[in-house]
Structure 1
Amino acid sequence: MKKSASFLIISFIISCALAAPLSAADFADTYGYIVGIFDPQGPQNTGLTVFPTLMIPMGGLSEGMGTAYTAVGRDVGYLESNPAASSVMDYTELAIQHKNLIADANMESMVYTIRLDNLGLGAGLKFLHVPFTGYGSYGQQTTTFRYTETVATLNAAYNFLHGFYFNGLAFGANLKVAYRGEPNVPGLIENQSAFGIMGDAGLLARFNFLKFYPSRTRNFSIGVAAKNFGPPALGEPLPSLISAGIAYSPLRPLLFAFDLNVPVSLLPDVPPAPIGFAGGVDVTITDFFATQAGFLLKGGNPRVSLGADVKLANFALHVNYILDMTTQLGALDNFSVQVRFNFGDRGRAAREKKIEDQYLNALDALAHGDYDTTLKLCREIISVDPSFDPARETIKNVLRSIDLQQQMEQLKKPTSEPAPQTGGSSGAPDSTANSGQ
């Protein structure tokens, strides 16, 4: 059944891609009608910020889910969505992406992330390049240059109050440096290259809510992130944004996410863009194949995303296709490919399994009344994982039982001893007492 479902989905995506060029005009009319529904007055206050590369997703699961990723944080896409998620990532990952935008515009990116227990670290690099060629009156090439934007990101996060029952409250931050390179070409405005510095901050919490399957993984999460806050560059504001999101997995193969995005302008004379939102779903069809779909409303350009993720051992391939007002159905526009390498979890899963087995042994010893072995095993567990609260609770219960036993033994002892006799030895009668009779 799983194979047939995945086959139907893949066939549907391929059929849509093959049929799309035949109905491009109809699609444009339909899409224009949809745009009018969501924004009847047309886009307002959009395109007034610098470094648009900051708002272009790198690809992967985040883009496949329509960028509704503030509360998800399952892979390297957290770097642009919520910097707090690096402290709760399952694996060390390296991802390399290529994205076709429109015409000759392309973007390359790379992200690396690692988690050291409750500490998460990450780094990313994005490079947007757009070639331009100038032609004279007779079609001869007169000039050629390349417009570029580069964004480098450093990430750090920590998961506070992490325990067995409470997954913790993760806080993280990004430091970003951006550079726009535009050569001084005759006919263009000079000195348009710019340098910018900005930062992100985010919170993420995970817990169980309306969960219908057994798992230690939490199925509900909430997150909030402030992104791209910094001083203006060349008098233009950065695309600052505050995002709040939720993610919910009612069943193990399903994940739903929703984000609310509120643009912020730090310049009083530049109004912010309108509020937008994003929604997405991730469906795991088999252990190695999953599909995504999402919707993003940002300004007057709503977009629909379709994605697929194939996992093979320590290697994963993710592809996305985006439909919006810039997509040309007859060309390979708005298409991204991500290759993700999994370098393991630094032994966390094996350590958790060992701790769980040792705790079961401790419970078995407790059931047989072997308090000494129970205390020894539980204390060893805490020395390895101080956040394993069941071992602490078991130690408290055992010590309470031992103390109760001691109190009961004290109660069994007689409260007073019989008075010693003052007469001679061998129980002879007291001669003094008898003499008075």
Structure 2
Amino acid sequence: MIFSFSLPALDLKDVNSKLSDIFNFGEDSNEGTTVFRSLNIPSGGRAESLGTAITGLCDDINFFDYNPAGSSILENSEIAFFHNAWIADSAMETLAGTLRFNNLGLGFQFKCFYVPFTEYNLFGDRLAGNYYSETSLAFNMAYNFFAGYDFRGLSLGYTVRTSWRNMPDYADNQTDKIQSGSGLEQSALAVMADLGLLMRFDFLKNFDSLDPNLTFGLALNNLGLAVTGFSTDFEFDDSLPSRISAGFSWRIFKNLLVTGEFRQPVNLMNFSSSQKFSLAAGTEITFTDSFDFEAGFMLSGGNPRFSIGSQFDLKGIKMNVNYTLDLTSSFNPVNHISLSARLLMGDRGRTKIRTLAFEKYAEGIGLYSKGDRQSIQQAIEKWIHAKQLYESIGIKFDPAIEAITTAQNLLTVHDQIRTFSSLETGM
């Protein structure tokens, strides 16, 4: 995209006006009242394929821009790269990584939105060429509390993020010479935080899986402030694109997932200037273990955005290709494509521990079914071992706990019967 400005004086409001086609999400009188609007651009990949209805899902590294609680429930540690060719010549590049230690999740994300920036004078001569960019660095931490086999826990998380808006230097009105430091005056630094929670459990589940099939999520995103005027006097910039999001995901069948989300932007500096709410929904169909198809829809203001994509394995790397038809960015349809590559780094042995625990649990059931006292005692030992294995990965193994209690009660009954029989014999 090439920006052409008529002098005199380049102003950030002029730039925001030029960027409106990129960031506008529907007809809204309050659109343009926030800064760092690249925070509203999805990184791409599976999240965008699902219409960005991710707040109540977050089962892969796409959680970063939606719900910070997600890092504590990811099955695998991940490293991922995203490229989103947005509108015209603008693009978003993202690098992210996560690491999970039982119920503790950690992560980082680096993302950069950039667009070519060219300035001309009144005669059409090219004066300056550079890039307008918004770059963010984020760190995440989350923990899954009360994790168990039946109730999968309450995940709470936060992400702290710092963002830098780089405005290129522009020319002097009289001499057409580049003014050193002129862009710095309108550049800005933002510091913000995301807060989120997730609850997961089984609901009307008709298939075998260790993963819960229903998840609810709530998130507060981009809560913070921005400052500008670095070459003159510091001052607060306009409000960041803060928002409140609530969503769910429900795996109705083993190969069918649906997601939904409600999103309300909030202008922290002037609540009356908050933008309109948006709605999003997505669906994912799993054809094989290595191929999924996704489709998504978002309605913001009066305009929709449609997305389709597919996720597939390529030599151990999860790839996603996404196509979006975006009617929220201008009166004419705008098409863009995103690509993502996710490298799964393993689960630090949690799957092996769960498998071994189930083997011990099944052995205990076999012993318990024999019914004699010695076999029941041996079954309890197996179940205690299974419970301890689950505890080593931070999960309460409810089936083993219930089985131990039942078996111990049965042994008590055995002892009472033996005592009663001895009394009768003595009499």
| TM-score normalized by the length of structure 2 | 0.83
Q: Return the alpha-carbon distance in structure 2 between the equivalents of residues 96 and 355 of structure 1.
A: 35
Determine if the alignment matches structure 1 residue 116 to structure 2 residue 101.
yes
Correspondent of 2:76 among 91, 99, 116:
91
Percent sequence identity over matched residues?
Answer: 34
Measured in 1, the distance between the counterparts of 2:223 and 2:206 equals 40
State how far apart, in whole Å, the 2-side matches of 1:196 and 1:227 are.
Answer: 13
Q: Name the residue aligned to 1:102.
A: 87
Are 1:290 and 2:292 matched, yes or no? yes
Equivalence for 1:268: 270
SS, match of residue 170 in structure 2: coil
Amino acid aligned to 1:357: E
Q: For 1:417 and 1:54, locate their aligned partners in 2 and report how far apart those are by CA, in whole Å.
A: 83
* SS of equivalent residue, structure 1 residue 236: coil
Deviation at 1:401, TM superposition (A): 1.9
Q: Note if contact 2:73-2:105 (Cα within 8 Å) is conserved in structure 1.
A: yes
Q: For residue 186 of structure 2, what is the aligned residue in structure 1?
A: 192
Q: In structure 2, do the counterparts of structure 1 residues 136 and 262 end up closer, same or farther at CA, with 3 Å as the change threshold? A: closer
Cα shift at 1:286: 2.3
Match of 2:146 in 1: 161
- Cα 1:414/1:284, change in 2 over 3 Å: closer
Alignment of 1:218-233 (within 5 A): 218-233=212-227
Aligned amino acid, residue 100 of structure 1: A
Q: Compare the two structures and name the one with the higher strand fraction.
A: 2
Q: From 406, 421, 426, give the equivalent of 2:415.
A: 406
In 1, are the aligned partners of 2:225 and 2:237 still within 8 Å (CA)?
Answer: no
- Structure 1 counterpart of 2:387: 382
Report the Cα distance in structure 2 between the residues aligned to 1:194 and 1:47, rounded to whole angstroms.
16
Map of 2:376 onto structure 1: 371
Cα distance between partner residues in 1 of 2:243 and 2:332: 30
Question: In structure 1, how many angstroms separate the alpha carbons of the residues matched to 2:406 and 2:287?
Answer: 44
Q: Is contact 2:189-2:226 (8 Å) kept?
A: no
Cα gap change, 1:232 to 1:270, in 2 (>3 Å): farther
Residue range with higher mean Cα deviation, 251-260 or 284-293: 284-293
Take 1:99 and 1:349, find their aligned partners in 2: how far apart are those partners?
33
SS class of match (2:60)? coil
Residue 19 of structure 1 corresponds to none
Secondary structure in 2 matching 1:185: coil
Q: Which digits, 9 at most, give the CA deviation of each residue in 1:231-251, with x for residues without a partner?
A: 244330010100001111111
- Is the aligned partner of 1:181 residue 2:190? no
Tell me: CA distance 1:416–1:105, structure 2 relative to 1, closer, same or farther (3 Å). Answer: closer
Indicate the SS of the match to 2:225.
coil
Residue pair 1:237, 1:265 contacting (<8 A) in 2 also: yes
Q: Does the C-alpha gap of structure 1 residues 302 and 47 become closer, same or farther in structure 2, counting only changes over 3 Å?
A: farther
Match for residue 150 of structure 1? 135
Q: Distance in 2 between matches of 1:67 and 1:347?
A: 31
SS in 2 for 1:43: coil
Q: Are 1:51 and 2:36 an aligned pair? A: yes
2-structure distance, mates of 1:106, 1:265? 26
Q: Which amino acid aligns with 2:243?
A: L
Q: CA contact under 8 A between 1:259 and 1:277: conserved in structure 2?
A: yes
Contact kept? 2:188, 2:226, Cα under 8 Å: no
Q: Is the 8 A contact 2:247 2:260 kept in 1?
A: yes
Per-residue Cα deviation, 1:67-106 (whole angstroms, up to 9, x for no partner): 0011111211111111111111111111101111122211
**Any idea what the Cα deviations from partners look like across 1:100-123, whole Å, max 9, x if unmatched?**
112221111011112211111111
The answer to whether the aligner puts 1:212 opposite 2:217 as a matched pair is no
Residue aligning to 1:76: 61
Deviation at 1:299, TM superposition (A): 3.6
Contact 2:92 2:113 in 1 (8 A): yes
Question: Do structure 1's residue 131 and structure 2's residue 136 form an aligned pair?
Answer: no
Q: Deviations over 1:290-319 (max 9, x none)?
A: 111111123454211111111235211111
Question: Pick from 343, 346, 351: which aligns with 2:348?
Answer: 346
Contact 1:355 1:381 in 2 (8 A): yes
Partner amino acid for 2:416? Q
Q: 1:144 to 1:246 in 2, by over 3 A?
A: same
Match for residue 18 of structure 2?
none
Partner SS state of residue 309, structure 1:
strand
Q: Matched residues in 2 for 1:192 and 1:225: separation?
A: 30
Deviation at 1:210, TM superposition (A): 2.3
Q: CA RMSD in A?
A: 2.4
Unpaired runs of 5+ residues, structure 2, are 1-24, 174-181, 228-235
Post-superposition shift, 1:360? 0.7
| Secondary structure class of the residue paired with 1:353 | helix
Q: Which amino acid counterpart does residue 227 of structure 1 have in structure 2?
A: N
2:6 maps to what in 1? Answer: none
Which of 378-387 and 62-71 deviates more?
378-387
Note the C-alpha offset of 1:287: 2.2
Specify the SS of the correspondent of 1:172: strand
Length, aligned pairs only:
378
For residues 43 and 423 of structure 2, the distance between their equivalents in structure 1, rounded to whole angstroms, comes to 80
Stretch of structure 1 that moved more, 381-390 or 83-92: 381-390
Deviations 1:313-342 (A, max 9, x none): 5211111121124489999x5211111111
* Structure 1: gaps (5+ residues): 1-37, 419-437
Alignment partners' CA distance in 1, 2:172 and 2:195: 41
Change (3 A) 1:337 1:366: same
Q: Does 1:170 align with 2:155?
A: yes
- Distance in 2 of aligned mates of 1:104 and 1:125: 20
- TM-score computed with the length of structure 1 as normaliser: 0.81
Please tell me whether the aligned partners of residues 48 and 270 of structure 1 are also in contact (alpha carbons under 8 angstroms): no
**What's the offset of the Cα at 1:268?**
2.5
Amino acid at match of 1:400: N
- Which SS does the other structure have where 1:397 is aligned? helix
